[in-house]
Amino acid sequence: MSDLTRLTISQARAKLRGKEITATEITEAYLSAIDRANPALNAYVAVTGDRARDMAKASDARLVKGEGGALEGIPLGIKDLFGTEGVHTQACSHVLDGFKPLYESTVTANLWADGAVMLGKLNMDEFAMGSSNETSYYGPVINPWRRSRLDTVVMPTTHQGDGGFVSAGGTKTQRSLDNAQLVPGGSSGGSATAVSAFLCAGATATDTGGSIRQPAAFTGTVGIKPTYGRCSRWGIVAFASSLDQAGPIARDVRDAAILLRSMASVDPKDTTSVDRPVPDYEAAIGKPIKGMKVGIPKEYRVDGMPEEIEALWQKGIAWLRDAGAEIVDISLPHTKYALPAYYIVAPAEASSNLARYDGVRYGLRVPGKDIVEMYEKTRAAGFGREVKRRIMIGTYVLSAGYYDAYYLQAQKVRNLIKRDFENVFAAGVDVILTPATPSAAFGIADEDMAADPVKMYLNDIFTVTVNMAGLPGIAVPAGLDPKGLPLGLQLIGRPFEEETLFQTAAVIEQAAGTFQPEKWW
Amino acid sequence: MSVDLQTVKRVARLARIAVSEEDAERMTGELNAILGFVEQLNEVDVSGVGPMTSVTPMEMKKRQDVVTDGNKAADIVANAPATEENFFLVPKVVE
């Protein structure tokens, strides 16, 4: 039998329903792929093999009776930020050592209700703070993609067989992989690597400033951050509550649409969950985009952006124009302030949300001579450097005398960023096309970024605006750079118009194709 | 604005994170790099603009003020590092 892990969700769904394969078979195929690959890629921090087998067995029983749900028997990976009952849920932080919630997050509960199978919990940046998946307590995730070189090889003249055939020689080109390990992006680096390396059919992820879209772009996968309020945040470890949204990472646009439909819901347990029915996103795929107005924001052309990113953007524009869309130049004048405003708002909210890790109710406790020393030692030992940095910034900008200058100013700028988008949408723009990231995947332990936290933050320059305005954004692979690494384009839509994003992303995907890494692990 | 070593130590105390002298010195540089980066927000004219208070314009959802959950004391303390009879145990707070 061919490798079941290579099937997309839509292909596997058809084969499961058609009883050509069983949920148990596909689950076993993924579990053995994880077994072989995880030592090299470090995508999973916990594999739930027994539970996966039980869930698959139950799925098979339902499939036999023709009672399968929308995701019946589809094996998924779950980011460690999602609360999963009785299973490792630690936001990849030391401070949550041993935490196993007695409840299930709404998003994962929705997935299980639709018949999905849980393979395990995926690595991520600690508390979703990072753009390279290097801040995880469980070590970095490795990108399955590696840089490659095109070599021209001279073919030797050969004599062959009895007939004395002599080949004339000549040259051919071949790609050879470089050994340098690259980051998968972050914070959902485990999700992106697992999907790209065929270690799950699809994965859950979360996005506070780009944590779904940037890793998707770095691994040649599709990632969508839906509109704020579309997926319930209940049961997801909180980072910055006004920015956090869950979404899927998948191998193609259709799979992302299938997953989002199951993940999204109206949830009374999250007061910011929006009362709107969840549409059939998949139905938007294949609809023509003729006459659609696509905005190209001039502010996304930044200094020092590599040529290949600009070239990719132009290719995307051409594809959409060829499909009948109308391309218009637009301006989002406050774009450059989104990242600095984010680095006030997100740390401020994080410093409040992470106050709960005090060594009393869950996780790590380091004893002290009194309760304050116990708190301080627990938090000093439990949080990594990046998390501490952000808690410190957040505490500072919220402290007496600085609140107005920093936090209030940032929240006002945030309204201006949102207004920029509202203005272009009011002018008739349906969707905005930008690059997803300012570069392709970079190396593990990049010295420049380690020396200057702001350099790392710049990875999110094109994605963070979307979180600040609460809009939906999708990253879709659009090509390879000269070193053979995937690059992505981003589409930004009006609130709750995820269907437009799937519709448009499918056009890009059809023109660009899909991308798989060459297996070295 | 920038922070000095004393301010960093004060903020660490507010955030309940123990820092060594070496940590505080390193953090001073890092925090100043970030504060320098966010400084550019001061050039934005925000006159007449209110702060964002709701990401999606919607009324706060309310529910009936009735008990919908509870009687889960054992669940609540299940993950605590130290408990006794469904209470969280902490070092002595009051002498």
Q: Which residues contact A428 (CB under 8 A, 6 or more apart)?
A: A293
Mean of the pLDDT values across residues A234-244? 97
Q: Where are the domains of chain A?
A: 4-142+184-284, 148-177
Does domain B5-41 match CATH 3.30.2000?
A: no
Which chain B residue's Cα is nearest to A458? Answer: B37
pLDDT at A373: 97
Distance CA A359, CA A362 (A): 6
Share of chain A above pLDDT 90, in %: 90
Task: Kindly report which listed range (A153-157, A354-358, A454-458, A511-515) carries the lowest average pLDDT score.
Answer: A153-157
Question: Any idea which residue has 């589809």 for tokens?
Answer: A74
Q: Where are the domains of chain B?
A: 5-41
pLDDT at A164: 45
CB spacing of A405 vs B1 below 8 angstroms: yes
Q: Which residues contact A369 (CB under 8 A, 6 or more apart)?
A: B91
Distance CA B8, CA B20 (A): 11
Instruction: Say yes or no: B61 contacts chain A, CB-CB below 8 A.
Output: yes
Helices A253-263/A106-113 angle, 10° precision:
110
CB spacing of A411 vs B51 below 8 angstroms: yes
Q: Which residues contact B77 (CB under 8 A, 6 or more apart)?
A: A361, B83, B86, B87, B88
Domain made up of A4-142+184-284: CATH architecture: Alpha-Beta Complex (3.90)
Q: What is chain B's percent helix, strand, coil content, to nearest 5?
A: 40, 5, 55
Band of pLDDT at residue A128, cut at 50, 70 and 90: very high
Cβ-contact A238, A244 below 8 angstroms: yes
Distance CA A184, CA A188 (A): 8
Question: Any idea which residue has 């790609």 for tokens?
Answer: A175
Instruction: Say yes or no: A334 contacts chain B, CB-CB below 8 A.
Output: yes
pLDDT at A1: 46
Interval B43-78: pLDDT, tens: 999 999 999 998 988 888 888 999 989 999 999 999
Alpha carbon A264 to chain centroid distance? 16
CB spacing of A388 vs B92 below 8 angstroms: no
Pick left, alpha or beta for residue A519 (phi over 0 → left; psi -120 to 50 → alpha; otherwise beta).
Answer: beta
Mean of the pLDDT values across residues A471-489? 97
- Which candidate in A93, A211, A351, A439 is catalytic? A211
Cβ-contact A119, A73 below 8 angstroms: no
Of B17, B33, B90, the CB nearest to A388: B17
Mean of the pLDDT values across residues A384-389? 97
Q: Read off the amino acid at residue A413.
A: V
Cβ-contact A209, A125 below 8 angstroms: no
Evaluate if residue A513 carries a pLDDT over 90.
yes
Instruction: Work out the number of other CB atoms within 10 angstroms of the CB of residue A49.
Output: 16
Q: Which residues contact A192 (CB under 8 A, 6 or more apart)?
A: A143, A184, A185, A203, A205, A215, A216, A218, A219, A221, A223, A249
Of B39, B79, B82, the CB nearest to A100: B79
A148 among known catalytic residues: no
- Which candidate in A10, A59, A79, A191 is catalytic? A79
- Mutation pick from B7, B46, B52, B54 vs chain A, by most beta carbons of A within 10 Å, is B52
pLDDT at A153: 77
Residues of A with Cβ-Cβ distance to B41 under 8 angstroms: 337, 340-341, 344, 409-410, 413
User: What one-character DSSP code corresponds to residue A405?
Assistant: I
Mean of the pLDDT values across residues B69-93? 94
pLDDT at A163: 45
3-state secondary structure of B68: coil
What DSSP element (H or E) covers A280?
A: none
Pairing verdict, β A293-297 and A326-330: parallel
CA angle (A341, A343, A347) in 5-degree steps: 125
Alpha carbon A367 to chain centroid distance? 37
A232 among known catalytic residues: no
Band of pLDDT at residue A449, cut at 50, 70 and 90: confident
Cβ-contact A413, A341 below 8 angstroms: yes
Interval A33-59: pLDDT, tens: 999 999 999 999 999 999 999 999 999
pLDDT at A114: 98
Distance CA B18, CA A507 (A): 53
Mean of the pLDDT values across residues A266-292? 96
Which chain B residue's Cα is nearest to A360? Answer: B80
Which residue stretches of A3-79 are H helix?
9-17, 23-41, 49-64
pLDDT at A214: 98
Interval A284-329: pLDDT, tens: 999 999 999 999 999 999 888 899 999 999 999 999 999 999 999 9
What DSSP element (H or E) covers A361?
A: none
Question: Any idea which residue has 């798989």 for tokens?
Answer: A516
Share of chain A above pLDDT 70, in %: 97
Backbone angles phi, psi at A271, to 5 degrees: -70, -15
pLDDT at A168: 57
Q: Write down the mean pLDDT value for chain A.
A: 95
Q: Do you find a cis peptide bond into A187, omega within 30 degrees of 0? A: yes
Evaluate if residue A66 carries a pLDDT over 90.
yes
Cβ-contact A119, A48 below 8 angstroms: yes
Alpha carbon A67 to chain centroid distance? 31
Question: Any idea which residue has 């890790």 for tokens?
Answer: A357
Tokens for A205, please give them.
């992820």
What is the number of CB-based contacts under 8 A between chain A and chain B? Answer: 164
Q: Read off the amino acid at residue B35.
A: L
Which residues lie across from A225 on neighbouring strands?
A473
Distance CA A201, CA A10 (A): 10
pLDDT at B93: 84
pLDDT at A461: 94
Mean of the pLDDT values across residues A192-196? 98
Interval A393-438: pLDDT, tens: 999 999 989 999 999 999 999 999 999 999 999 999 999 999 999 9
Distance CA A311, CA A435 (A): 10
Tokens for B44, please give them.
């934005």
Q: What is chain A's percent helix, strand, coil content, to nearest 5?
A: 40, 15, 40
Cβ-contact A235, A156 below 8 angstroms: no
Interval A144-188: pLDDT, tens: 999 998 777 777 665 554 444 445 567 777 778 899 999 999 999
What DSSP element (H or E) covers A261?
A: helix A253-263
Mean of the pLDDT values across residues A488-496? 98
Interval B12-41: pLDDT, tens: 999 999 999 999 999 999 999 999 999 999
